[in-house]
Amino acid sequence: MESAIFIIVAWILSTCLHEFGHAFVAYLGGDTTVKDRGYLTLNPIAYFNSATTLVLPILMLLLGGIPLPGAAVMINTSKLKNRFWISLTSFAGPFFSLLCLIGFIIAYKVFASDAMSASFPSNVVEILRPSLALLIWLETYVLILNLIPMPPLDGWGIIEPWMPENIQIAARRNGNIGFLIIMLSSFTVPIIPQFMGAIAYFVTDFSGVPDYLVASSFKNFREFSMPIAALIIVTFILKNLKSPAQKAAEAKQLQELQAQQIQQASSLSAAAASSEQIVDVNPMGVESDEKNKTQI
């Protein structure tokens, strides 16, 4: 039980750092709305998202996996300075995940060393060694998955600004379908999870983690899948129980964002109308709204 608690807490922390990386770089790049939305924090509640925090863990549980929660931040890409900053914002999440992975590896090395582990109680070492072994494997697996260049993953977000505009618009419209395809493929096309799992095991082997320790820790963690899923559901419900003042503040922020989007759409429509005098074009109205909002 202690091992499962440590794994879920460490996973949530690494997920928060991933999303904080996105928000922090977006803020540096000019999108100050991330601060208004409360994303510049390590509070996991700020990053709760119905799809990644609630639906995804339950789906993973039903498909036989472990229900680890995800998260998301909403980035207004129209406020970023240029497409370099858009790519950098997408890259920031995996980079922070890589830092977490390195941290897990260092921590495992400490507790795997007889000289270092002697400084800690034996029961602590027995809990942390297998927990860190599984965290290294999981962090590597998800990092590889997230770098696949397919919407709406970060791998696509890195290259998207450099793609033709019509491809960008199509990707934004069908991003959720792409994510569903990736998830289903992971369970229906064995070679995909086998390949990513092999890379994850390569990293654990390189880190000195025995394969049996990862497998046994994974098996033990799965025994607590149902309580973890229940905890996620309860936390999500409590998070959405907001006071009237909070609901009014969020409604005001949403109205301001919609007003900004209408203004941006009007500007783009005017620019497109002007360009039609020179060359026949297809004005982008709704598409421009979708382009300026990215969830990563």
Assigned domain for 259 exists: no
Query: Quick check: is 165 catalytic?
Result: no
pLDDT at 2: 81
pLDDT at 64: 65
Assigned domain for 266 exists: no
**Span 151-170, pLDDT tens digits:** 889 999 999 999 998 988 88
Query: pTM (2 decimals)?
Result: 0.79
Q: How many residues does the chain have?
A: 296
Assigned domain for 279 exists: no
pLDDT at 279: 35
pLDDT at 98: 97
pLDDT at 239: 66
Q: Spot the catalytic one: 19, 139, 160, 287.
A: 19
Q: Total structural domains in the chain?
A: 1
Assigned domain for 122 exists: yes
Per-residue exposure over 247-270, b if at least 16 CB sit within 10 Å of its own CB, e if not? eeeeeeeeeebeeebeebbeebee
Kindly give the residue spans of alpha helices, DSSP state H, lying in the chain: 2-28, 33-36, 56-62, 83-112, 114-117, 122-146, 154-159, 165-173, 175-188, 191-206, 211-222, 225-239, 244-275, 286-291
Range of the domain at 221: 2-243+290-295
pLDDT at 134: 94
pLDDT at 142: 92
Taking 70 as the pLDDT cut, the residues of the chain under it are 50, 54-55, 58-59, 61-64, 67, 236, 239-295
Assigned domain for 277 exists: no
Assigned domain for 17 exists: yes
pLDDT at 253: 61
